Amino acid sequence: MVAIGYYHIFLIVDVNCYKNKTLYYGMILSSKIEKVSYKSNILIEKDNINNLRKNSIIKTDAIYKIFTQNILIKIGNIDKNKVEIYKNNLINNIN
């Protein structure tokens, strides 16, 4: 799921329930594609499934906790296989 929060657009990579609240885990998306050369950034092209306005990068250097009340709107989806690639990129860059 691609969602807009208060200050960022996130790719939601996992979901858990925590104390009767839904807790999402997400990676930040950025439209600054000139930073695609950074090791932890991966290009994602806009399409009619993710509904991004422009080509963007997924910053796979960190995962953020996001509570439901901090998500303003869902704007699109990402293929689950691609989400696994992004999560693996995070794991591989930690080591």
Confidence band of 4 (pLDDT split at 50, 70, 90): low
**Total of domains in the chain:** 1
> Domain limits at 42?
2-94
Token pair listed for 62: 């960190």
Give CA–CA dist 32/68, Å, rounded: 26
Inform me whether the pLDDT recorded for 3 exceeds 80: no
> Residue 27 is part of a domain; what is its CATH number?
2.30.30.110
Inform me whether the pLDDT recorded for 72 exceeds 90: no
Average pLDDT score, the chain: 88
Instruction: Write out pLDDT tens, residues 39-65.
Output: 999 999 999 999 999 999 999 999 999
Give the SS3 label for residue 64: strand
Confidence band of 11 (pLDDT split at 50, 70, 90): confident
